Amino acid sequence: MKNKIAIIALLLIAGCNQPEQNIDIVSKSKNTVITKAIEYASPGVVSIFASQEITKFSKLGPFTLKSEDIANSSGSGFIISKDGYILTSAHVVSNFYDPSISLASGRAFFTAVLPGGDSYNAYIVGADTRSDVALLKIDSEKEFQYCILGNSDEIIVGEWIVTLGNPKSLFSAANNQPIASAGIISAINTNFGIDRKTNRLMNNMIQIDAPLNSGNSGGPLVDINGEVLGINTFKRDGENLGFAIKINYAKKIAEELKLKGFIDRRFSFGINAVSYRYGQNGDIGLYINSVDYDSSGDNKALYKGDIIIGLEGYQIQTYDEIQLVLANTDARPGDTIELRILRENDIKVVKLVLGSK
């Protein structure tokens, strides 16, 4: 019995000493995959400040009074190339952006503040409200550190992620370092359709549980390697429910903005079609009255008399529904779409390449 008591006492002493050793080991190794990701990505993260002169007119009896005011806003962004191109959310800058007004007029100003506090003037290359992606350029010949873009096609639910940015304009308050929050990917390909108020397409979003706050919009969502998986864009229905635009999609938009300054969604089908009832149940489809084979699109798989009954997996009854489906998929000239048609009582699947107007 005495031996048993002695053994238990020794185990208790050893157990009490063990945590001290573990605590000492942990304290000496604070670096984790999260801290490494933040360290790797942070140099390319910027705070974006926008300001615009606003002229107001008011009536005072028979007189018209003119006054000047300044509107300000802030958000986040990240540099994607050494020559200073910046990706951000379009809604961060769109209220201050009018392509018809030159920056030289002094009406609108954009400033990018880098980690460490250096600030540079920037200008908008292009902003697309449908995708909520904007491309800016730092007005400098200097070479900049930039974020490495990852592959959003390889993301998995449950992997660790970090958001970086300028929530509540705290970037400058934290020694000019981006504010970080961590979490996991909660869902992939979350769809909300098109926001009727903003005309923003909110499909195929990355859902995260890391907190997003006002000012986080436009900042990078990075994985444990510090590579960008998406652009943080909005939160919804309470805390810890945030969403990001996939970086592969954002890159596609940015490349077109860089080339054209805008996104061209003016497509054509080269067909004339009307709603039409068919079959014993009175189903409705689109009856093709004519096909213009000389149009800029590839519509050779379609014939007069075909009835379009589906598009990209959606049932189609009106021409407006075609437009809505293509808007939801962000289709553009040159894209191939899949149609289900009824031809001589047989259902067929054909391909159509959208033309340009």
Question: What residues are labeled active site?
Answer: 91, 132, 217
> 190 to each of 231, 236, 321, how far by Cα in Å?
14, 12, 21
Q: Are 306 and 249 in contact (CB under 8 A)?
A: no
Torsional class of 328: left (φ above 0), alpha (ψ -120 to 50), beta (otherwise): alpha
Residue 350's Cα: distance from chain center in Å? Answer: 31
| Distance of alpha carbon 95 from alpha carbon 76, whole angstroms | 15
Q: How many CB atoms lie within 10 A of CB 305?
A: 13
> CB-based contacts of 44: which residues, under 8 Å, 6+ apart?
78, 79, 80, 144, 145, 146, 147, 220
* H or E element at residue 259: helix 247-260
List of E strands, 201-328: 205-208, 220-223, 228-235, 242-246, 267-268, 271-278, 283-291, 307-311, 314-315
